[in-house]
Amino acid sequence: MAQELRTEPALSTTYFGDRLADAVERKRSQLVVGLDPQVDLLPVELRGDVHLGRDHAAEAFGRFCRGVIDAVAPYVVAVKPQSAFFEELGADGVRALEDVCAYARQAGLLVILDAKRGDIGSTSRAYSAAFLEPRGKDGPLADALTVNPYLGRDAVEPMLAACKRDGAGIFCVVKTSNAGSAEVQDAILTDGKPLWQHVARLVREWGEDIVGARGLSSVGAVIGATHPRAVGEARRLLPQSILLLPGVGAQGATPADVARAFTSGPASALVTVSRALIYAFRVDGGEWRAAAGAEAARLRGEVWSVSGW
């Protein structure tokens, strides 16, 4: 199946927002599948040798993610590998991550790497080079990267340069879905606004000069779908930014909770679903690839419907 799907170019230097908009309209989908492989949750057929070492676990992760990609590719526009699960396995895991990213791009999907990097100076430049900048004929590891903007502009400056120069995209963590986020992100500033809204205004400023022909900025924002009111406010503060919306499924949010995120266009928001999709077989008892594909098809239609497009 993967061979049939590998028709899209591996790399384009057009703005990320334009590439995404093309994919959304072509597939009539705003769905992103999160690739969060965990040993204890893998299908039984893939768990046989994982106890023998990191190399075996990394191989199982790769097989699992490739199987999920084959199953969901007709219904999603991107995958979002969670770097931490691969990094846990050391060098073997990093190689598996690289292989999975390449496989997804060959299948015609965008890759949004969930690594939440954020530092300054040469460290930030190294992160940008590792994840977003072309590496020879194979291109960059990912099309877009989640970043932590809470160190300020100098933490994201190298990534902004990659957006302008290489067609990369970034998603700045602004208002997250975890309960503890309120301890920092909801802190009230002297103007009476929560800190996350100040960060949202910075994200808008950083992305104003990296807007493609489709009107979307290469600098997006991560907004937890578990906070519907924040989703609506983020849309108002970030009219040209793509909103990446985690929290649907296992964390309790539904597609209806994020309907207001799409008022800037069909590609102005992406709904990311991880555990509820890739481990759907653990609920319905079906074959793991078929279960993932069926859940992706269902969610694709539901999200498109509530988006209003």
- How is residue 130 written in tokens? 């590792």
Start-to-end C-alpha separation, the chain: 29
Q: At what angle do helices 153-166 and 121-131 cross, to 10 degrees?
A: 30
Sign of CA dihedral 113, 208, 202, 24: negative
137 among known catalytic residues: no
Query: Which residues face 244 on adjacent strands?
Result: 222, 270
Q: Where are the alpha helices (DSSP H) in the chain?
A: 2-5, 16-27, 54-72, 83-87, 90-106, 121-131, 153-166, 182-185, 195-207, 228-237, 275-278, 281-284, 288-307
Active site residue: 27, 116, 175, 193, which one?
116
Residues with a catalytic annotation lie at: 116
